[in-house]
Amino acid sequence: RKLFVEKHLVSEAYRDIPLPIGCGQTISQPYVVAYMIACLNLKKTDKVLEIGTGTGYQTAILSHLCQEVYTIEIYSDLLNKAKKRIAKLNLKNLIFKLGNGTEGWQNKALFDAIIISAASEIIPVKLLENLKNQGCLIMPIKKPSGNQKLLLVKKNNETYLEKELLGVKFVPLLNKNIK
């Protein structure tokens, strides 16, 4: 994780805490990243959509576990820094996009798994449309109380099976113009 934080935070990189990355965003704590990825039960042949590239830390991990990672970031500054970090690691199975993640990946693309690294009160419909049958989506969901829980959603034909997991704290999912 030290490769994905600013120099002044390198000494904190291996603590199991979120860290600031700029633009009001954070890099998630390592345990939560690992837990979310593990819940997806990825296969080497899977195509994954990641919402919230951030520093590229989770993106890099995903790249080793599946065939392709499509990743969307709303902040151009964060996306450009993530691309530079990823380039140094020589990872080739990644496709980056600057955009509003709530809009999903256009062109009717379908994914085996979708991982969202920001909390929302609802699951964005366009992301559900990007999910293959038998695919899984994981994201933090914001409850009316203000608390957040990880939500694992499995698509089964036209129905969605939802399972609440552990309590978490994420930055809000942004649904606005690109920065």
Going residue by residue through the chain, which has 179 residues, state the pLDDT in tens, using 9 for 90 and above. 999 999 999 999 999 999 989 888 989 999 999 999 999 999 999 999 999 999 999 999 999 999 999 999 999 999 999 999 999 999 999 999 999 999 999 877 899 999 999 999 999 999 999 999 999 999 999 998 889 999 999 999 989 999 999 999 988 888 776 55
- Position 166 scores a pLDDT of 92
- Position 178 scores a pLDDT of 58
Q: What is the pTM of this model?
A: 0.93
- Position 106 scores a pLDDT of 81
- Position 151 scores a pLDDT of 97
Pick the closest to residue 55 from 75, 79, 36, 34 (CA basis): 79
- Position 49 scores a pLDDT of 97
Q: Is 110 helix (H, G, I), strand (E, B) or coil?
A: coil
- Position 107 scores a pLDDT of 74
- The one-letter amino acid at 134: Q
Tally of CA atoms within 13 A in the half-sphere of 42 that contains its CB: 26
**What is the distance between the alpha carbons of residues 28 and 23, in angstroms, rounded to a whole number?**
14
- Position 17 scores a pLDDT of 92
By annotation, the residues acting in catalysis are 28
**Do residues 21 and 55 touch, judged by C-beta distance below 8 A?**
yes
Angstrom CA distances, 77 to 16, 27, 57, 131, 142, stand at 25, 15, 15, 28, 26
Neighbours of 154 (CB within 10 A): 15
Angstrom CA distances, 143 to 1, 36, 53, 171, stand at 30, 19, 24, 14
3-state secondary structure 13-63: CCCCCCEEEECCEEECCHHHHHHHHHHCCCCCCCEEEEECCCCCHHHHHHH
Angstrom CA distances, 169 to 101, 139, 146, stand at 19, 11, 10
- Position 147 scores a pLDDT of 93
- Position 177 scores a pLDDT of 65
- Position 97 scores a pLDDT of 95
